[in-house]
Amino acid sequence: MEVECLVIGAGPAGSMAARELASRGIETVVIEKRQEIGAPKRCAEGVSKHSLEKLGIKVHELGIARIIKGAALYSPSGKKVVMEGQGMEGYVLERKVFEKYLASEAIKEGARYMIKTQATDMVRENGKWKISIKNLDGEDEIKAKLVIGADGVESKVGRWAGLKTLNRLTDYHSGMQFEMAGVNADMNYIHLFFGNDVAPLGYAWIFPKAFSANVGLGVLEKGAKMRAYDYLKKFIEEHEEIFKNASPVEINSGGVPVAHFTEMAADGVMLVGDAAQLVNPIHGGGIVRAMHSSIMAAEVAEEALKENNLSKDRLMKYENMWNEEYEEKTNKLLKLRSFLEKLNDKDFELLADILEGEDIFQLTQAKLSFFLKKLVKRPSLLRLATKYLK
Amino acid sequence: MIKINRDRCMYCGGCVGVCPTNALTLNETMLTVSEACNDCGICVKFCPVGALEV
Amino acid in the structure at residue B48? P
Task: Give one DSSP letter per residue of B1-54, joined into a string.
Answer: --EE-TTT-----TTGGG-TT--EEEETTEEEE-TT-----HHHHH-TT--EE-
Instruction: List the one residue out of A194, A195, A187, A193 whose CA is nearest residue A246.
Output: A187
The rounded distance, in Å, linking the Cα atoms of A202 and A195 is: 8
Question: A46 - beta bridge partners?
Answer: A92
CATH of A2-65+92-167+259-327, one of 3.40.50.720, 3.50.50.60, 3.40.50.10860, 1.20.1560.10: 3.50.50.60
Q: What is the fold, at CATH topology level, of the domain defined by B3-53?
A: Alpha-Beta Plaits (3.30.70)
What pLDDT, on a 0 to 100 scale, did the predictor assign at position A360?
94
What pLDDT, on a 0 to 100 scale, did the predictor assign at position A61?
96
Phi, psi of A8 (to 5 degrees): -105, 110
- pLDDT at residue A332 above 90? yes
Task: Give one DSSP letter per residue of A31-90, joined into a string.
Answer: EESSSSTT-S--S--EEEHHHHHHHT----GGGEEEEE-EEEEE-TT--EEEEESTT--E
Give percent of chain A with pLDDT exceeding 90. Answer: 95
- pLDDT at residue A9 above 90? yes
Contact at 8 Å (CB) between A151 and A257? no
- pLDDT at residue A283 above 90? yes
Domain residue ranges of chain A, discontinuous segments joined by +: 2-65+92-167+259-327, 169-257, 334-389
Contact at 8 Å (CB) between A177 and A253? yes
Asked if A175 lies within 8 A of B16 by C-beta distance, the reply is no
The rounded distance, in Å, linking the Cα atoms of A114 and A112 is: 7
Mean pLDDT over all residues of chain A? 96
What pLDDT, on a 0 to 100 scale, did the predictor assign at position A379?
87
The rounded distance, in Å, linking the Cα atoms of A174 and A219 is: 5
Cα–Cα–Cα angle for A332, A257, A301, rounded to 5 degrees = 85
The rounded distance, in Å, linking the Cα atoms of A8 and A268 is: 13
What pLDDT, on a 0 to 100 scale, did the predictor assign at position A73?
97
Of the candidates B17, B27, B48, the beta carbon closest to that of A227 is on B48
Peptide bond into A12 cis (omega under 30): no
Phi, psi of A49 (to 5 degrees): -60, -45
Mapped onto helix, strand or coil, the DSSP state of residue A261 is coil
User: What is the tens place of the pLDDT at every residue in A146-180?
Assistant: 999 999 999 999 999 999 999 999 999 999 999 99
Mapped onto helix, strand or coil, the DSSP state of residue A385 is helix
The residue among A253, A258, A260 with the most chain B CBs within 10 A of its CB, best to mutate, is A253
Question: A119 - beta bridge partners?
Answer: A133
Asked if A169 lies within 8 A of B22 by C-beta distance, the reply is no
Instruction: Check if CATH label 3.30.9.10 holds for domain A169-257.
Output: yes
Q: Span A61-78, mean pLDDT?
A: 97
Asked if B17 lies within 8 A of A33 by C-beta distance, the reply is no
Of the candidates A34, A156, A174, the beta carbon closest to that of B14 is on A174
Asked if B46 lies within 8 A of A169 by C-beta distance, the reply is yes
Distance (Å) from the C-alpha of residue B25 to the closest C-alpha of chain A?
A: 8
What pLDDT, on a 0 to 100 scale, did the predictor assign at position A380?
86
Kindly list the residues from chain A whose CB atom is less than 8 angstroms away from the CB atom of residue B32: none
The residues in B 1-54 lying below 8 A from A, measured between CB atoms, are 10-20, 22, 25-28, 42, 45-50
Contact residues for A133 (Cβ-Cβ < 8 A; gap 6+): A31, A114, A117, A118, A119, A120, A139, A140, A141, A142
Distance (Å) from the C-alpha of residue A79 to the closest C-alpha of chain B?
A: 28
What pLDDT, on a 0 to 100 scale, did the predictor assign at position A344?
95
Distance (Å) from the C-alpha of residue B42 to the closest C-alpha of chain A?
A: 8
**Tens-level pLDDT at each residue, chain B (54 residues):** 999 999 999 999 999 999 999 999 999 999 999 999 999 999 999 999 999 999
3-state secondary structure A271-315: ECHHHHCCCCCCCCCCHHHHHHHHHHHHHHHHHHHHHCCCCHHHH
- pLDDT at residue A377 above 90? no
What pLDDT, on a 0 to 100 scale, did the predictor assign at position A378?
86
Task: Give one DSSP letter per residue of A176-203, joined into a string.
Answer: EEEEEES--S-TTEEEEE--TTTSTTSE
Region of poorest pLDDT, from A54-58, A267-271, A292-296:
A54-58
Question: A190 - beta bridge partners?
Answer: A71
